[in-house]
Amino acid sequence: MRKFLITALLLVAVVLISPAQVSVSGEATASQFGKTVFGLGFAGGPASGVGVSFRTHLPSKSSFQFVFGIIKANNRLSTSVGAEYQYDLVRGRSTRFFVGPSFAYFYSGANENEMDAPFRGGAGVGIEFAIQDALHMSAEGAFVFFSDGTILPLPQFTVHYYFF
């Protein structure tokens, strides 16, 4: 978990010190989505899952994201499956602010799930911004509800390449 937080903070720092790279060219602006746009990338978050992410942004203000990750080391399996809905509050040329819920299931163990709270749900607000033309990064702050009753405010991060 500590390595994940350090990596996430480094990604945010890199984006914050490079605002001159934020640009979207031609038809690839978020405010001009007149068609469904698909994105492929990586996501990491306790409410939506960790792994490869597929996102589809509809011509409306709605987006859907599906996340799947799996790692097997020795006889131990770790996996997560998650989904997130995003509703755009504001869209600009290179940024968008959104809100939405997310849900995920986490599994980790050799023969059975050893996690105390494998089911998770969250709700929060986020921002997505263009790093370069079709490469976008998003950061989200969500209240995450664990199946053991724990509620924590935690971050989620994604990086997607959009196929405009």
Q: Please, which residues have CB within 8 angstroms of residue 13's CB and are 6 or more apart in sequence?
A: none
Phi then psi for residue 35, to 5 deg, are: -145, 170
Query: Nearest 10 degrees: CA dihedral of 46, 85, 26, 137?
Result: -10
Tokens 């890199």, residue located: 14
pLDDT of residue 48: 95
Identify residue 108 by its one-letter amino acid code. Answer: S
Cβ-based burial of 79 (10 A; exposed 0-12, middle 13-18, buried ≥19): middle
- 32-36, 82-86, 89-93, 131-135: range with lowest mean pLDDT: 32-36
Tokens 């001159």, residue located: 20
pLDDT of residue 11: 47
Instruction: Output the pTM of the full model.
Output: 0.77
All structural domains of the chain:
2-163 (2.40.160.20)
> pLDDT (tens digit, 9 = 90+) per residue, 37-81?
999 999 999 999 999 999 999 988 999 999 999 999 888 999 999
> pLDDT (tens digit, 9 = 90+) per residue, 102-139?
999 999 998 899 999 999 999 999 999 999 989 999 99
